[in-house]
Chains A and B, each alone.
Chain A
């Protein structure tokens, strides 16, 4: 079966522009997570979805970041008015359920570069 897919794989944008990053989780996985991997900060949790709702948005770094999930499947992470410090690899992961006890399956990531 297909794994977690993310698009685009690479995104270069200019400071101040908005970007949308997409994640397709493994079919049937009800829990979906977004993380950010950057040189200075390591791997940081951003947001967690159970179904279409987000019980934990505590990792979103500012109100420029938002995410939604529709149909219990695809999720979109949106960054408005991008800044250079947003440059990072954005990783999406899914698990069979929220009680998957941490066994999360990761996508290949989207490398975002803000010029």
Chain B
């Protein structure tokens, strides 16, 4: 069945460091791919998305490119801030009868000043 694998955390970085959180997926067809973020004490919210191969999603300085050949959707940011500290979830969406998001296990990012 469909699944998402993302790198284990926690990831600890200093402010202004580069970030990459790896995400790979297993799915038939062409799912949409997402990164959701959960800030401390807040609900899960959509960070960015890509709906087809080679699409790049971007938001708040974060980017991820839908790579069909490597079945990947890695999250990147060139310069992280303390306010980026959160748990990041990679997810894929299967439409049709199921219409559900399938999430990775989440990666905790801690950015130190």
Within 8 A of A (CB), among B81-102: 89, 91-93, 95, 97-102
CA distance A59 to B36 in the complex (A): 20
- Which listed residue, A31, A45, A101, A106, touches B44 by the CB 8 Å rule? A106
Cβ-defined contact, B99 with A55, below 8 A: yes
The distance in angstroms between the C-alpha atoms of A33 and B99, with both chains bound, is 9
List of A residues within 8 angstroms of B43 by Cβ: 3-4, 91, 106-109
Interface flag for A98 (CB, 8 Å): yes
Q: Do B32 and A42 touch across chains, with their CB atoms under 8 A apart?
A: no
- Among A91, A93, A99, A102, the residue within 8 A (CB) of B49 is A102
A103 touches B89 (CB 8 A): no
Instruction: Please determine whether B103 and A42 come into contact, CB atoms closer than 8 angstroms.
Output: yes
Q: Which residues of the other chain, A, contact B105 by a CB distance below 8 angstroms?
A: 42
Residues of A within 8 A of B99 (CB): 31, 33, 48, 50, 55-56, 98
Binding site for A on B (CB under 8 A): 32, 34, 36, 42-46, 49, 51, 89, 91-93, 95, 97-106
Q: Please give the residue numbers on chain A whose beta carbons come within 8 Å of chain B beta carbons, in ascending order.
A: 3-4, 31, 33, 35, 42-43, 45, 48, 50, 55-56, 58-59, 91, 93, 98-99, 101-109
The 9 closest A-B pairs by CB, nearest first: A102-B93, A43-B103, A106-B44, A45-B100, A42-B105, A108-B43, A106-B43, A102-B32, A98-B99
28 A–B contacts from the bound complex (CB under 8 Å): A31-B99, A42-B103, A42-B105, A42-B106, A45-B101, A50-B99, A55-B97, A56-B98, A56-B99, A59-B100, A91-B44, A98-B95, A99-B95, A101-B32, A101-B49, A101-B51, A102-B34, A102-B95, A103-B46, A104-B46, A105-B45, A105-B46, A106-B36, A106-B44, A106-B45, A107-B43, A108-B43, A109-B43
